[in-house]
Amino acid sequence: MNSMEFLPIGVLATGAVVLLSLTGSRRQRDRFVTFGALLTAVCAMAAAAALIGAGGGFQDPLLAPFFVRDVVGVGAGVVILLLLALVTPVVVFDVGPLRAASSGVFSLLLLSTAGALVMAFSRNLLFFVVGLELLSLPLYVLVGMGRSEEACEEAAFKYFLLGAASSAVMIYGMAILWGAFGTLDILEWGRLWEKRGEAGPDSGLAILGATLTMSGLAFKIGWVPFHMWLPDVYEGAPSGVVAWMSGAVKAATFAFAYRFTHALHGLFPTVVGETVMVVAAASMIWGSLAAVYQSNFKRMLAYSSIAHAGYAALALLPSSARFGGERALVLYLFTYALASFGAFVIASLQEAEGKTRVADLSGLAERRPMIGLILAVALLSLAGIPPLGGFVAKFYVFLAAVRGGHFLLVLLGVLTSVVSLAYYLKVLVAVYMQEPKEVRPVYVGIGRMIVLGGGALATLLIGIWPAGVLDFLADVSQKLWP
Partner 1 sequence: MALDLLSELIFLPAIVGLALTAVPSRLSRVIFGLGILGAAFAFGLSLQLFALFDPTVVGYQFEQRLAWIPSFGVMYYVGIDGIALVLLVLTTLLSLIALISSYGAIREKRKEFVIVLLFLESAMLGTFSSLDLFLFYVFWEAMLVPMYLLIGVFGGPRRIYATLKFFLYTMAGSVLMLVAILVLYTQASESTGTVSTALPDLLHVRMPFELQLALFLAFVVAFAIKIPLFPLHTWLPDAHVEAPTAGSVLLAGVLLKMGGYGLVRFAIPLFPEAARAAAPWIGALAVIGIVYGAYVALAQEDMKKLVAYSSVSHMGFVALGMASLTRIGMAGAVFQMVSHGLATGALFLMVGMLYERRHSRMLVDFGGLARVTPRLGFAFFVITLASIGLPGLSGFIGEFLVLNGAFQSVVWARPWLFVGFAVVGVVLGAGYMLLLYERLFLGEITFEENRKLKDLSWVEGAALALPVVLVVWLGLQPGLILSRVNPAVETILLRMNSSAESP
Q: Which residues ranging from 366 to 385 are in contact with partner 1 (CB under 8 A)?
A: 380, 385
Q: Is 49 in the site for partner 1 (CB under 8 A)?
A: no
Please give the radius of gyration of the chain, using alpha carbons only, rounded to the nearest integer. 21
Q: Which stretch binds partner 1 (CB under 8 A): 92-100, 247-255, 279-287, 428-436?
A: 428-436
Q: Which is nearer to partner 1, 46 or 370 (CB)?
A: 370
Q: Is 75 in the site for partner 1 (CB under 8 A)?
A: no
CB of 275 to partner 1, least distance (A): 24
Q: Is 414 in the site for partner 1 (CB under 8 A)?
A: yes
Q: Is 457 in the site for partner 1 (CB under 8 A)?
A: no
Q: Which stretch binds partner 1 (CB under 8 A): 91-99, 107-115, 140-148, 412-420?
A: 412-420
Q: Which is nearer to partner 1, 52 or 474 (CB)?
A: 474
Tell me the residue type at 91.
V
Which of 77, 287, 318, 324 contacts partner 1 by CB under 8 A? 324
Which of 112, 321, 432, 456 contacts partner 1 by CB under 8 A? 432
Which of 425, 449, 460, 461 contacts partner 1 by CB under 8 A? 425
CB of 310 to partner 1, least distance (A): 16
Which of 100, 101, 228, 422 contacts partner 1 by CB under 8 A? 422
Q: Which is nearer to partner 1, 257 or 410 (CB)?
A: 410
Which of 65, 190, 386, 445 contacts partner 1 by CB under 8 A? 386
Assign residue 435 a region: left if phi > 0, alpha if psi is -120 to 50, beta otherwise? beta
CB 115 within 8 A of CB 12: no
Q: Which is nearer to partner 1, 48 or 410 (CB)?
A: 410
- Nearest Cα to Cα of residue 356 among 338, 373, 344: 344
CA angle at 428 for the pair 390 and 396, rounded to the nearest 5°? 10
Q: Is 402 in the site for partner 1 (CB under 8 A)?
A: yes
Q: How far is CA 270 from CA 30, 88, 351, 480, in A?
A: 55, 43, 46, 29
Contact footprint for partner 1 (CB under 8 A): 324, 380, 385-387, 391-392, 395-396, 398-399, 402-403, 407, 410-411, 414-415, 417-418, 421-422, 425-426, 428-429, 432-433, 466-467, 470-471, 474
